[in-house]
Amino acid sequence: MAKFNTSVKGTADVLPSDSYKWQFVEKKMLETASTFGFQEIRVPVFEYTEVFTKNVGETTDVVQKEMYTFTDKGDRSITLRPEFTAGVVRSVIEHGLINGALPVKACYVGGCYRYEKPQAGRMREFHQFGAEMFGAADPAADAEMILLANSVLTNLGIKNLSLEINSIGCPECRAKYHAALKQYFASRADELCDTCKDRLDRNPMRILDCKSPVCKAIADDAPVMIDYLCDECKTHFEGVKQHLNAVGLSFTVNPKIVRGLDYYTKTVFEFISGEIGAQSTVCGGGRYDGLVGQMGGPSLPSLGFAMGIERLLMVMASQGTEFPEPAVPDVYIATMGEAARLKATKLCMDLRNEGFTAITDVAGRSVKAQMKYADKLGARFSTVIGDDELQNDRCVLKNMQNGEQQEVTLSDGIVSAIYDSRIDAMIESVAGNTEDLETVLNIAKKQ
């Protein structure tokens, strides 16, 4: 296979005909986050490798097997971000945000890189939307993060996801749990896969996350963290549940959720879809009270979540979710002759400056070919201009949807005719639709 003209395994292109879906999803995500007071943070695609090894955790799959790490020309070890949290924590400490008003609320959208086995819902370059909150210890914060994730998913029109929550405790109660877990797995050590044999000493909780069927079956009977929670962690978890109940968000407690990254403490949660096969977790997150301190900042209770955009789009495709139609050109101006082409360039610029989408021929094709192209684009109006039209300063503007034609002046007739038609379309779209009419009136009132 030639490499110079194929994409790398595990990556995908988003083509112009599909990008409106991504734009819609990302916009909704950021807008929803903003209603919760979260503003976007943009961090680099690559960081010093230590940002991830130290903070995602040496014993995690992500660090041990999945990172894209390379040495740059200045002999630095660099890693493409496999996730955002570590970089965001690095950034908020480096810029002193956590010394200002707390909690700090930040959200992000962008690509992540993991060397995993590509399959449905699992890519080597994939995209996440996520949010982080720094400096909030109360269970209300955990609930707010879960509610934010839920609102994003709901506002995208996604249905039928299940929310599963768990508590994986704090370092104190987890030490006792680790001991119990180690004892359990040690009794069946010879059945475990090689990676898990190694995990037994280093981090027995990782075995619970192993994808091998044998280890999974053994893990099914393992002790669960929730039975080992200390009083503080127990009370915190009860608080989270109360807050979720208070808004009527249904959830199930799944004592098996441990999450794949080391930094989590107390609450962890996942949103799961039954419609996209084995890679079914669309969103995962939780509290990471130790991470900011571990990264050189003050001890600051914090939490976050991330959702995989590719997996969300798969759910939306399977549910037939509707996306707002991408805009079609308002007008296509076909030209005959060089003078008309010059005029069309000017006319198109006038229209674009008014906010309309105006297209004209830039390929030097026949009028017939130009009109075929206008049809393909789905242009709402079209006109043909040649020497006669230039001389009379008039042209015939054709409504491509209903075939109606009107004669307008070239100078400002095209702009005002298209402007009028847009207003008509707006009026028509709200007429008889009280809900839209109310929205329009509400917007008008606010302005």
Interacting residues with ligand ATP (CB under 6 A): 83, 114, 116, 121-123, 126, 128, 260-261, 279, 281-284, 306-308, 310-311
**Spatial contact of 358 and 331, defined as CB atoms under 8 Å apart:** yes
The H-assigned helical ranges of 77-170 are 85-94, 139-155
Identify what 206 binds: ligand ATP, Mg ion, none; CB under 5 to 8 Å per kind: none
Q: How many CB atoms lie within 10 A of CB 106?
A: 23
Total chain residues near Mg ion (CB under 5 A): 1
Residue sitting closest to Mg ion (CB) = 260
Cβ distance to Mg ion smaller for residue 278 or 363 = 278
CB of 397 to Mg ion, least distance (A): 56
Residues 6+ apart with CB under 8 A from 372: none
* 394 sits in which H/E element: strand 394-399
DSSP-derived secondary structure letter, 8: P
Identify what 365 binds: Mg ion, ligand ATP, none; CB under 5 to 8 Å per kind: none
CB of 124 to ligand ATP, least distance (A): 7
Identify what 156 binds: ligand ATP, Mg ion, none; CB under 5 to 8 Å per kind: none
Binding mask 246-285 for Mg ion (x = CB under 5 A): --------------x-------------------------
CB of 119 to Mg ion, least distance (A): 12
What is the Cα–Cα distance from 230 to 233, expressed in whole angstroms?
A: 5
Q: How many helices (H) and strands (E) does the chain have?
A: 16, 16
Strands (E), 84-173: 104-113, 125-134, 161-167
CB of 404 to Mg ion, least distance (A): 56
Identify what 281 binds: ligand ATP, Mg ion, none; CB under 5 to 8 Å per kind: ligand ATP
**Spatial contact of 246 and 147, defined as CB atoms under 8 Å apart:** no
What is the Cα–Cα distance from 193 to 191, expressed in whole angstroms?
A: 7
Nearest-CA neighbor of 300 among 135, 95, 90? 135
Tokens of 396: 């015939």
Cβ distance to ligand ATP smaller for residue 62 or 340 = 62
Identify what 87 binds: ligand ATP, Mg ion, none; CB under 5 to 8 Å per kind: none
Cβ distance to ligand ATP smaller for residue 209 or 289 = 209
Matching residue, tokens 């797995």: 185
Identify what 330 binds: ligand ATP, Mg ion, none; CB under 5 to 8 Å per kind: none
Identify what 275 binds: ligand ATP, Mg ion, none; CB under 5 to 8 Å per kind: none
Cβ distance to ligand ATP smaller for residue 116 or 198 = 116
What is the Cα–Cα distance from 106 to 42, expressed in whole angstroms?
A: 9
CB of 441 to ligand ATP, least distance (A): 39
Cβ distance to ligand ATP smaller for residue 134 or 288 = 288
Tokens of 433: 């639709």
Residue sitting closest to ligand ATP (CB) = 308
Strands (E), 172-225: none
Pairing of strands 125-134, 104-113: antiparallel
What is the Cα–Cα distance from 397 to 318, expressed in whole angstroms?
A: 41
Query: Which residues between 93 and 132 bind Mg ion (CB under 5 A)?
Result: none
Identify what 243 binds: ligand ATP, Mg ion, none; CB under 5 to 8 Å per kind: none
Q: Residues interacting with Mg ion, by CB under 5 A?
A: 260
